Amino acid sequence: MNIYPDLFLTFAKVGGMTFGGGYAMLPILQREVVENKGWATEEELADYFAIGQCTPGIIAENTATFIGQKNKGIGGGIIATLGLVFPSLVIISLLAGVITAFSHLAWVNHAFGGIRVCVCVLILNGVAKLYKKAVIDPPTAVIFLTVALGSFFTFYQVITLRQSRTPRPPRRKSR
């Protein structure tokens, strides 16, 4: 059986059915790669997510590359990455020309508002699954809380130790 088409189509399904970027893709990647295909274990996928976050690029693309490379070498990594990116490229190309013509319509704004809510739920679902696998004892719980609080209350992304590109708006002065 040729795994290249399977890699491409599996990651194309993930890329085509996910709104909201790399983090929103993580729960769907977990379902497809671990549960449906068996290409990686939960632990391997968590490691891929961690490495994918530390390397340049979008976490879902990096993870697709790692999984493709693990299963079929460099060619598999390329095919899996192309599969993930291809649907977005097609959708964006089709929408780019017409989105400005419809962006003023109320139902379009409501649709995007609904998509934003769904993306938040997908990301929270991914965080919950990763939390269950990563926070396994008191020291890892302390690390989790430190990183979470640091990212909520500072302008710095604690993991990468670099300043965020979009600073928070200044606080309003109370009267």
Residue-wise pLDDT for 150-163, tens only, equals: 877 877 655 554 44
Backbone angles phi, psi at 157, to 5 degrees: -85, 110
Q: What is the pLDDT of residue 162?
A: 47
Averaged pLDDT of the chain: 82
| Helix, strand, coil abundance in the chain, percent, nearest 5 | 75, 0, 25
Q: Confirm if 22 and 58 have CB atoms less than 8 A apart.
A: yes
Q: What is the pLDDT of residue 66?
A: 92
**Pairwise pLDDT comparison (148 vs 37), residue with the higher score:** 37
CA 173 to chain centre: 36
**Pairwise pLDDT comparison (116 vs 17), residue with the higher score:** 116
**H/E segment holding residue 162:** strand 162-163
Q: Confirm if 159 and 144 have CB atoms less than 8 A apart.
A: no
Q: What is the pLDDT of residue 80?
A: 93
Whole-model pTM: value is 0.61
Interval 68-97: pLDDT, tens: 999 999 999 999 999 999 988 888 888 877
Interval 124-153: pLDDT, tens: 887 888 788 888 899 989 988 888 888 778
Residue type, 18: T
Residue type, 74: I
Contacts of 22 (CB under 8 A, 6+ apart): 58, 59, 60, 61
Model confidence band, residue 23 (pLDDT cutoffs 50, 70, 90)? confident
